[in-house]
Structure 1
Amino acid sequence: MGNGGAVAEGERIRVAMVHGPAPAEHDGVGDYVGRLVAALGRDGVEAVRVPVGPERAGTGWSWLPATLDAARRVRRLRPDVVHVQFAPSVYRFSGFPGLLPLLLEAGAPLVTTLHEYGWWAVPGWVPDRLWRPLERRRLWDRETGRLVPASARVVVTNGAHACQVRLRTGADGVVEVPLAPNVVDHGRAAGARARVRAALGMGPRDPLLAFFGFVHPVKGVRQLIEALPALRAARPGLRLLVVGGFTSQALPEREALAFHAELDALAARHGVAEAVTFTGHLPAARVSEALHAADAGVLPFTAGVTTKSGALLTMLAHGLPTAVTVPDEPDPALPLGEAVTAVAARRDPEAVADAVARLLDDPALRRRLAAEALRLAARHSWPRVAAAHRTLYESLLTPPPADD
């Protein structure tokens, strides 16, 4: 096979997986790509990673030469399918990766996965009325350049992005493949509660809250820290474990250090510094252990939480009863009061404290949420994600039946 040939049932498919340069520990899309490539390998798909730019970036490179180099490497691979993972932040809001379809040879079908969509344009000063005719004629897309217009299939992770792509382009080749957890259950539940509490200096019955994911100003960690004094007034031993790194594509190192210092100062100002532990980036097995040890999870994102969040899916996959803020348009795939409990308001420490208190004071509620969380997470597994991708690739590589 190679360069877009037909595929027989069960035959191994070769995919050039094009993605941004950030390492997984600094980028959610990079983490997704690593897990997808591994899952595809177990499903008979050879996915070869082609980063646009150096994965351990130093100085002396830029996006145009990096895009040209990525295109050359894809051409040398002669893959059956070219699959580009796209989010503007992954490419630091450069428009050059959107030129990739113009640099690739004809033959192998192109697939683009949109991890972010519907809010950005390059260049940003072009008015909507000028973008619309270009997008409707499938000539150019304001966010992805030639990627969406040239793609045989556009993969989205949620219905909102699917609607946005269809609205702009009229494309009918949009495929929804939901996300899977950032961290799967590593089976370290036995003894996790005792081990983690001992490491934190906690008593066996002291409540432990967990936040998981990249720590960023939009994740609501400020409000979570500000909610701790009210929670600890009735539960003096309560602790908060913030599991995740600060440095990311969305928060470069200098800004990350400043935000970490801001949260440390905030915790000290509210008298809860000893109750908050920032773990930094942890190996997956230790994340799994921390989530198994927690009594409740809290994700008070300032824009609300949906099943687009790999952090939420990770908590659900560990059966962790979790309180979340709700977006302006709630996610129909996330039944509030069933798989999660809702925080009544965003950017509101009192609402966070009220929701968490309800969880901690109601063991029956926690058990019910945990059971439903596991059921929901089962629909978001990596084997399912890989199988959906293989089916998509096969649909592009299988020739149509001959006419009688």
Structure 2
Amino acid sequence: MGLKIGLVTGEYPPMEGGVGAFTAELAKALHQQDHTIHIITSREARPPDAPRTFTSANEPIDLGFAKLHPRIGRWRWPSLAAVADVVLRQELDVVNIQYQPAAFNMNSAAINFLPWRLKNVAKTAVTFHDLRLPYLFPKAGRLRQTAVNFLAHSAHGVIATNSADYDALTKTVSRKGAKVSQIAQIAIGSNITVHQTNHIEIGEIREKLGLKPQDVLLGYFGFLNESKGADTLIEALAQLDGRFHLVFIGGQTGASDGANNQTFLDDLRAQIEALGLSKRVHWTGFLGDARVSAHLQAADMMVMPYRDGASLRRGTLMAALAHGRPLITTTPTAPTPQLISGENCCLAPVGDAVALGTAVQTLTNDADLREKLGQGATELADQFSWQKIAAETAVFFKLLSC
């Protein structure tokens, strides 16, 4: 029998953000497996064509695969009551919080208390998309870690998206005597569906970017912030000759943590200008899924030099793999045996622009290696289908309900 599942997320399309895209894909896959889905999120996620009358403000919006509840103005303490109201009205079996501090207003710990608020109302599970600490307020100090620990301790179940976070969360939860069965590691999938394209569309994209037939197009996908290493990529591009171009695919700052992301973007643009690369760096701006997919396929290779190392919790990395692109990324800082340099990706040291440039040159000069890496990427991505992710998630939710 299907479950009635609530997905709580600070961002959701049309808001720009990886967690919102993840939630949408998970909701669709869970719906296909006969579960009833309710998405509880920010008012900014209200579809432009949805009614905006006073009486319709609290009414769910039918998305076909889920009911959308864009009820939350700001993720502060009153938001807990609004979420509880939806949970009670819809008689949900389990509530799954998609936790990323930046998406829930980093200067408030309200969302960290939602499992406590729903203790006698519904089972709760938290998917930790990262383990960053909320800002809260100046000199919050140890309270920031305490807020995250409380969220993990008070939920009935915890989901990590990669092995490093799983190990950290296991230590955190076990301190309170929780059973290991309450913790699961479930991967994320690509937040961009692979759309079929052809050489004509690819040619049009490259022509629009002003590329010549002999030019090499490097692709970068995802919002820009300090952790993703785009500044290192620009340094590497400066070492390469004029044949090499770079396209930043998609939106630039996203809906979450926009101020810090904008500061990084401003610095990055200044760096590009100072190095004289403006004519070789291109920006698509925000695109729909189909156009993102086409641009990914138009790139000769993807270069994603994360400063914290490659991780399978990155939806942007999973998108590059799903599209079968030759991928250059940075060596994981935690064991990630799925990523094998020379088989399904090319790994370079974190923060090393020279090594990054050398890797680009190597792949440019070796068509067979590019083909091998692309095939390996596709095979790896097949392990992380949304159908598999949804099935594992539902099994975990049912265990919590026992």
Instruction: Give the TM-score range, shorter chain.
Output: 0.7 to 0.9
1:223 aligns with 2:232: yes
Contact 1:75 1:104 in 2 (8 A): no
Structure 1 residue runs of 5 or longer lacking an equivalent are: 1-10, 132-140, 400-404
* Equivalent in 109, 112, 116 of residue 123 of structure 2: 109
Change beyond 3 A, Cα 1:121–1:192: same
Cα distance in structure 1, aligned partners of 2:143 and 2:40: 33
* Equivalent in 179, 187, 191 of residue 200 of structure 2: 191
1:327 aligns with 2:343: no
* Equivalent in 109, 113, 118 of residue 99 of structure 1: 113
Cα distance in structure 1, aligned partners of 2:187 and 2:357: 31
Q: Which residue of 2 aligns with 1:3?
A: none
SS of residue in 1 equivalent to 2:284? strand
Cα distance in structure 2, aligned partners of 1:314 and 1:101: 31
Q: Which residue of 1 aligns with 2:220?
A: 211
Deviation at 1:150, TM superposition (A): 3.1
Change beyond 3 A, Cα 1:119–1:371: same
Deviation at 1:121, TM superposition (A): 8.5
Deviation at 1:60, TM superposition (A): 7.6
* Equivalent in 385, 388, 398 of residue 384 of structure 1: 388
* Equivalent in 301, 307, 321 of residue 302 of structure 1: 307
SS of residue in 1 equivalent to 2:5? strand
Q: After superposition, where does 1:249-288 map in structure 2 within 5 Å? A: 249-252=255-258, 254-288=259-293
Q: Alignment RMSD, CA only? A: 2.7
| TM-score in terms of structure 2 length | 0.84
Contact 1:192 1:292 in 2 (8 A): no
Cα distance in structure 1, aligned partners of 2:135 and 2:284: 36
Q: Which residue of 1 aligns with 2:165?
A: 161
Contact 1:16 1:77 in 2 (8 A): no
Deviations 1:94-123 (A, max 9, x none): 211122233326253222211122756878
Cα distance in structure 1, aligned partners of 2:354 and 2:119: 57
Deviates more, 1:333-342 or 1:184-193: 184-193
Deviations 1:301-336 (A, max 9, x none): 122112121111101111100111113334222122
| TM-score in terms of structure 1 length | 0.84
Contact 2:344 2:376 in 1 (8 A): yes
Contact 1:22 1:55 in 2 (8 A): yes
Deviations 1:63-87 (A, max 9, x none): 1112221122212111122222212
Q: After superposition, where does 1:4-403 map in structure 2 within 5 Å? A: 11-21=1-11, 23=13, 25-51=15-41, 55=45, 61=74, 63-93=76-106, 94-104=108-118, 106=120, 108-117=122-131, 124-126=140-142, 142-143=147-148, 145=150, 147-170=151-174, 171=178, 172=180, 173-232=182-241, 236-252=242-258, 254-343=259-348, 345-397=349-401
Deviation at 1:55, TM superposition (A): 3.8
Cα distance in structure 2, aligned partners of 1:121 and 1:291: 34
* Paired residue total: 371
Identical counterparts, % of pairs: 29
Change beyond 3 A, Cα 1:197–1:270: same
Change beyond 3 A, Cα 1:127–1:66: closer
Deviation at 1:34, TM superposition (A): 1.3
Contact 1:43 1:390 in 2 (8 A): no
Change beyond 3 A, Cα 1:159–1:257: closer
Cα distance in structure 2, aligned partners of 1:209 and 1:309: 19
Deviation at 1:383, TM superposition (A): 1.2
Cα distance in structure 2, aligned partners of 1:62 and 1:339: 40
Contact 2:116 2:155 in 1 (8 A): no
Cα distance in structure 1, aligned partners of 2:321 and 2:282: 22
Structure 2 residue runs of 5 or longer lacking an equivalent are: 47-69
Change beyond 3 A, Cα 1:167–1:21: same
Contact 2:41 2:72 in 1 (8 A): no
Contact 1:122 1:143 in 2 (8 A): no
